[in-house]
Amino acid sequence: MPHTSRRGFLALNSAAVLLPARLLAAVEARAPAAPRLDDWGKVRAQFRLSPRYIHLAGFYIASHPAPVRDAIEAFRTVLDESPFLTVERGMFEGQAQNVQRKVRDDVAAYLGGRENEIALTPNTTTGLALVYHGLRLKPGDEVLVTTHDHVVHHEAIRLSTQRNGASVRKFALFDDAASATADGIVDRVRQAIRPATRALGITWVHSSTGIKLPVRRIAQVVEEANKGRSEAERVLLVVDGVHGIGAAEESVAELGCDFFCAGAHKWIFGPRGTGIVWGKTPAWARLEPLVPSFSDVESYVAWKEDRLPRGPTNPNRVTPGGFLAYEHQWAMGAAFRMHQQMGRARVAARVRELNQRCKEGLAGIRGVTLRTPRDPALSAGITCFEVEGLKPDDVVERLLERRIIASTSPYAVSYARLSAGLMNTPEEVDQAVAAVRAIAKA
């Protein structure tokens, strides 16, 4: 949103001014050159993870790799040197040099979409809340969601429907994740959708069991259900994709969903406190913004002219405003560029290789029950399991005694979890499996 009255300030000290066209160049000049990432040893070297442990819970919250740390520090430096000019010209000048737009460009290149389809958020939780609370629901409408989703997904829907008088209905996609099939999952979705359904919420990769849903096939079922419906009655497919983005090969823009919500500080290795919502243009038009935006010029002009904003809702209008840790939000693009450099298919293959190794190893241990499907088409980077006679927390604690960092799934039914990412090696996976074997025998 332009502040043309402040342009005159630039004439006061031209040598000290950071013009918008120079901001990114100044940041790039302060940051080291992008490292070569053509082998996994070089990728691993980008992280400052303590060598005292084998880190197999990296999906929880990422260690910033060097390109992201460097970008954060470069933006922080220019902000500390000239906070007013940096924020004023980086956020509120022309769109051509708007730093948020550059971030969205980097995100879009990875997602396979366009920058004008993306809202910037602090995390998955906020993204889901913006979507569900933004829906124009009314009494008689329902939101359909699975029993397997995370608490924040369920709560976003509950709080929304409680406020607007709509209802929420939960259904199970499978009885047991380990034996689930894509055909069975898709059939249950088909049976669950009703005439009153206005949105369907699912999770791409479940942190509860590690299963990865066939989102494209689910989207086809939703599209079939939408035939003959008016635009206002179409079922919107909302995906919590935080454990798929950066780990799975599929392009987000080609999944077929209407909204895709994800934090960037997990598998993407983005700055902590950053995230995105990608959405189709017709789907954005069905939302009402919830938080005043600093990113939508029309909203600002409408306020100055004392009128309502014109045009349909768009991602900029939904992007929450307010001052924030700009050095983190603006550095998010570095994480997506890093993934572009490594290659989505190559990254997904590595994650699949490591976690398939983990699953096969655990499946061969007596007294260990694997809860994640062994089929690589139905899993990604999270492996859930049980050890007979031990609570999940006890398993994790005993692994920690062996300097292996694992985690438990924070659900009503909890499992121990091992998750191998790009910071790990096959040898580390084997050491973790061997440690589980020793624990199971003890």
DSSP 141: -
The number of CA neighbours under 13 Å toward the Cβ of 297 is 13
Q: Say what the pLDDT of residue 23 is.
A: 72
Q: Say what the pLDDT of residue 34 is.
A: 80
Domain coordinates in residue numbering, the chain: 102-341, 344-441
pTM above 0.85, yes or no: yes
What 3-state class would DSSP assign to 107? helix
Residue 46 corresponds to which tokens in the numbers above?
A: 């980008």
Task: Tell me whether residue 53 is exposed, middle or buried, using C-beta atoms within 10 angstroms of its C-beta: 0 to 12, 13 to 18, 19 or more.
Answer: middle
Residue type, position 147, single letter: T
State how beta strands 197-203 and 368-370 pair: unpaired
DSSP 323: -
Q: Are 420 and 351 in contact (CB under 8 A)?
A: yes
Q: What is the pLDDT along the chain (442 residues), one digit of tens a residue?
A: 434 333 332 222 333 344 445 677 777 777 777 889 999 999 999 999 999 999 999 999 999 999 999 999 999 999 999 999 899 888 887 666 789 999 999 999 999 999 999 999 999 999 999 999 999 999 999 999 999 999 999 999 999 999 999 999 999 999 999 999 999 999 999 999 999 999 999 999 999 999 999 999 999 999 999 999 999 999 999 999 999 999 999 999 999 999 999 999 999 999 999 999 999 999 999 999 999 999 999 999 999 999 999 999 999 999 999 999 999 999 999 999 999 999 999 999 999 999 999 999 999 999 999 999 999 999 999 999 999 999 999 999 999 999 999 999 999 999 999 999 999 999 999 999 999 999 999 8
Cβ neighbours for 434, distance < 8 A, ≥ 6 positions apart: none
The candidate with the shortest Cα–Cα distance to 13, out of 99, 81, 103, is 81
* Domain over 344-441 is classified CATH 3.40.50.2300: no
The candidate with the shortest Cα–Cα distance to 332, out of 118, 104, 148, is 104
Q: Which fold has domain 102-341?
A: Aspartate Aminotransferase; domain 2 (3.40.640)
- pLDDT tens digits, 218-246: 999 999 999 999 999 999 999 999 999 99
Across the beta sheet with 416-418, the strand order is 368-370, 383-387, 416-418, 407-408
Angle, helices 83-91/20-30, rounded to nearest 10 degrees: 120
- pLDDT tens digits, 126-138: 999 999 999 999 9
Q: How far apart are CA 253 and CA 305, in angstroms?
A: 36
Residue 249 corresponds to which tokens in the numbers above?
A: 């090969």
